[in-house]
Chain A
Amino acid sequence: MNGDQMMRAHSATLPAPQFDNPAWVSPVALADARVAIVTSAALYAAGDEAFSAVDTGYRIIDRERRDLVLGHWSPNFDQMGVKMDLNVVYPIDRLEELAAQGIIGSVAPRHISFAGNQPDDVSTIRLDTGPAAAAQLRQDGVDVVILTPV
């Protein structure tokens, strides 16, 4: 079993929260929507606070920043794709292009990065940091979020 197969098989066995009455938002048309990226790659802007080994918080990445550090603690995934091309994890240039083409309405001024390695119950994210990140995005007028996992 190779590394990716092992990680996928392991992740499939982890406990996962169930949402009995999930919310459903019908968004504005994509051509009018403000779009933000939320990643779990533990990326952070150079000079910002690094991620700790058990970090349930998030970092804000300004739209203009490209000098991002990969702060993920897991040794179990490819770390070089994102170093060859940020967009393979954080497709900020693609969003700019889609906005220029009028396919999306606009690119959010700020984007969000969490760490993918979280405690199994993910309670802090559910109760505190997730809602705080959502409030931040709402404040920026975000209509649509694309979530990219690591």
Chain B
Amino acid sequence: MSVLAHIFEAAGIATVVLSSVREVAQKVAPPRALHCEFPLGRPLGIPNDVEFQMDVLRRAFALLTEPSGPILVDHPVVIEADEQPVSCAIPPRFDASLPPCVDEARGIKKAYIRALERRGVTSVGRSIGADEVPSALAVLHAIANGQDWTTAEIPGGNIMSLCHDIRTYYEEAALELIDGPAPGGRAMENWFFEKTEAGATVLKARTAMRDAGAKFPVWFYMAPGNR
């Protein structure tokens, strides 16, 4: 973002960056930056909080009246990511003959469809469609439990995309299942990896692939780097 600011400025457009990593803004030194120590992925801080978002924009635009730069100003509010999993009910087991993750993925499908109908758009589909999530989880379940991943048929062919679609299917479904306050940054991720069978299966398959000698980028990006 800070690099683009220099490029736009050279083309005659004034810029303000909402910085998310202070050291980068310091190094690249865009003409005007408002550093926002908010959860990554939320540069305006708080979803559905019009006043807070307006405050961020007002402080950012105020930098346009400064006579010279580079300017790096901190937003006075720090928002930490939420390390607790969001409170979100998962349907009970329905078909005990299926691996738990497959049963679970089937169980939340209605919530996913409801989310899709309400939002009108989904980010599932990079590699597989929502209908294929349960069968894709069956493949990861097999890898997690000892099947050689090099001979497994990875739906869609790209395991990073596959894991994106599985996680996104769950997180979008969860938007309809939340029974507590709106999730802060990371709360939904924590729920997926710490509370769901699917998340546990992704992590277990990832470990199995790593231990079986899969190349680093193949297994690492199946989940966030700190997991």
Contacts and interface: CB of A to CB of B under 8 A. Distances in A.
B3 interface: yes
Contacts of B42: 78, 81-82, 88-89
A14 B26 CA distance: 13
Contacts of B24: 11-12, 14, 16
Given A40-B1, A89-B44, A149-B43, A80 B175 contact: yes
Interface in B41-62: 41-48, 50, 53-54, 57, 60-61
Interface in B157-176: 160, 163-164, 167-168, 171-172, 174-175
A24 B68 contact: yes
A150 B3 contact: no
Given A94-B50, A126-B7, A144 B64 contact: yes
A63 B226 CA distance: 37
B40 A4 contact: yes
A79 B164 CA distance: 11
Interface string A31-42: 001000010110
Contacts of B5: 145, 147
B221 interface: yes
A6 interface: yes
A138 B123 contact: no
A133 B53 CA distance: 25
A77 B43 CA distance: 11
B16 A24 contact: no
B7 A130 contact: yes
Interface residues of A, number: 78
B94 interface: no
Interface residues of B, number: 82
B96 interface: no
A94 B54 contact: yes
A4 B81 contact: yes
A7 B168 contact: no
Scoring A12, A130, A142, A148 by chain B CB atoms within 10 A of each residue's CB, the highest score goes to A148
Contacts of A22: 6, 9, 29-31, 70
Contact of B43 (A67, A69, A89): A89
Contact of A4 (B8, B46, B168, B186): B186
Interface stretch (B100-108, B114-122, B130-138, B208-216): B114-122
Contacts of B28: 16-19
Interface of B: 1-24, 27-31, 39-48, 50, 53-54, 57, 60-61, 64-65, 67-70, 80-81, 83, 119-123, 126, 160, 163-164, 167-168, 171-172, 174-175, 182-183, 185-189, 221-226
11 contacts: A12-B22, A19-B28, A24-B68, A25-B9, A30-B64, A73-B160, A81-B39, A95-B57, A97-B50, A134-B11, A147-B2
Would you list the 8 A-B pairs with minimal beta carbon distance, nearest first? A134-B11, A27-B14, A85-B47, A12-B23, A77-B41, A78-B41, A130-B7, A77-B40
